[in-house]
Amino acid sequence: MTITGGCYCGEIKYEVTGDIQWQAQCMCRECQYISGGGPNFFMMVAADDYRTTQGTVTQFARSDLPAPRTRDFCPTCGTHLVTRLPDRPVVVVKVGTLDDPSVYSGPQMAIFTCDQQPYHTLAEGLPTAHKRP
């Protein structure tokens, strides 16, 4: 299976070859910053299965955290493409950047509901985790 995606302006393109390991929505406060206030819908893939095929991303990691996540952005339009976890060989792909969002069949779980805002909705019956499962 090959999944493609990119940023809003088209400068950055990426490709995922391999299986989707997990699909979820994150409600943590950090993701609210990135998403503009809503939950962050994502899919997790093996780091070796992800590659940028066009352009050069800008990376950001907070210097005040002991184990910060690294976030890849388009340097032109600012689209947040993926998050890299310091302790796991995975890439967290943002669903909004997929060329064909229908490959995302929906979240299997909602995580970090401890930060859920009153205006965030959950699908009926969706399993939840107060923090990270």
Model pTM above 0.85: yes
Q: What is the pLDDT of residue 73?
A: 95
pLDDT of 87 > 90? The answer is no
Distance set, CA 9 to CA 34, 55, 75, 129 (Å): 17, 11, 10, 34
Q: What is the pLDDT of residue 65?
A: 85
Give rounded-to-5 percent helix, strand, coil for the chain: 15, 40, 50
**pLDDT tens-digit profile of 66-80?**
888 899 999 999 999
The structural domains of the chain, ordered by start, are 2-115 (2.170.150.70)
Q: For residues 56 and 115, what is the distance between their CA atoms, to the nearest angstrom?
A: 32
**pLDDT tens-digit profile of 14-44?**
999 999 999 999 998 988 988 888 899 999 9
4 vs 30 pLDDT, higher one: 4
b/e map of 119-133 (b: 16 or more CB within 10 Å)?
Answer: eeeeeeeeeeeeeee
CA 21, 41, 93, 63: dihedral to nearest 10 degrees? -110
**pLDDT tens-digit profile of 92-101?**
999 999 999 9
Rounded to the nearest angstrom, the gap between the alpha carbon of residue 14 and the centroid of all alpha carbons in its chain is: 13
Q: What is the pLDDT of residue 1?
A: 80
**pLDDT tens-digit profile of 96-130?**
999 999 999 999 999 999 999 999 989 999 999 99
Q: What is the pLDDT of residue 75?
A: 97
pLDDT band for position 132 (cuts 50, 70, 90): confident
